[in-house]
């Protein structure tokens, strides 16, 4: 059981996971965000090599074939993937690594790491109506794309049972605080486990 953890936050599009992840790393310097690669175009207000590493589809597939990614997924005809090196870079600095990924990527990580080394969260919107409202407010998609994302969101939410912690995002700040408290709780459990183990070895 490692002291550094793989933290996974997943949610349907529009439920707030990216905002939550950014707030978490700003509040807890022991947590490092894993920046993913993607083949989709850069959006307004996004920064290259900060939000994502933006590459062409051919380049992404080439990297995937070279086992560059620890997990990858295809969403809305675009590819997303997390570099293997991100985990080692974080662990070597004594930091947890935070993944902002969907259920597909989460399943891949669970197959490659011990259950006790992962803290996974699924973030649910308060309601489908509220999710639609958030998608409209952020103004990235037209009505056809919003309906497509809502349809996919229903499918994605069926996977919440695969996660250890399920949180309803009524308030971004409260959700962030809840995630941080759970991480602290998991850290405390690890300390207790190690103390008990050392006593048994005496």
Alpha-carbon span 98 to 18, nearest angstrom: 11
Burial of 102 (0-12, 13-18, 19+ CB in 10 A): buried
Q: Reduced to 3 states, what is the DSSP secondary structure of residue 7?
A: strand
State the pLDDT at residue 139: 57
Per-residue pLDDT at 107: 97
Residue range 19-28: mean pLDDT, rounded: 96
Q: What is the pLDDT of residue 75?
A: 86
Q: What is the pLDDT of residue 202?
A: 56
The confidence band for 1, taking pLDDT boundaries of 50, 70 and 90, is low
**Looking at residue 201, what is its pLDDT?**
62
Question: Which tens digit of pLDDT belongs to each residue from 56-101?
Answer: 999 999 999 999 999 999 988 899 999 999 999 999 999 999 999 9
Other CB atoms within 10 A of residue 162 CB: 14
Model pLDDT for residues 136-191, shown as the tens digit of each residue: 776 566 777 777 777 777 788 889 999 999 999 999 999 999 999 999 999 998 88
How far, CA to CA in Å, does 131 sit from each of 8, 16, 37, 127, 168? 21, 9, 26, 6, 12
């Amino acid at each position: 059981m490692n002291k550094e953890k793989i933290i996974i936050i997943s949610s349907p599009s529009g439920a707030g996971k990216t905002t939550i992840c950014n707030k978490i790393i700003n509040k807890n310097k022991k947590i490092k965000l894993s920046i993913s690669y993607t083949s989709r175009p850069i959006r307004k207000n996004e920064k290259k090599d900060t939000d994502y590493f933006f590459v062409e589809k051919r380049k992404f597939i080439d990297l995937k074939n070279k086992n560059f990614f620890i997990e990858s997924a295809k969403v809305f005809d675009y590819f997303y993937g997390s570099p293997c090196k991100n985990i080692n870079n974080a662990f070597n600095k004594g930091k947890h690594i935070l993944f902002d990924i969907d259920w597909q990527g989460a399943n891949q990580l669970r197959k490659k790491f011990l259950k006790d080394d992962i803290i996974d969260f699924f973030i649910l919107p308060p309601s489908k109506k509220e999710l639609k409202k958030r998608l409209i407010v952020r103004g990235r998609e037209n009505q056809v794309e919003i309906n497509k994302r809502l349809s996919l969101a229903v499918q994605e939410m069926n996977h919440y049972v695969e996660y250890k912690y399920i949180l309803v995002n009524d308030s971004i700040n409260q959700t962030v605080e809840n995630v941080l408290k759970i991480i602290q709780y998991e850290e405390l459990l690890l300390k207790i486990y190690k103390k008990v183990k050392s006593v048994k070895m005496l």
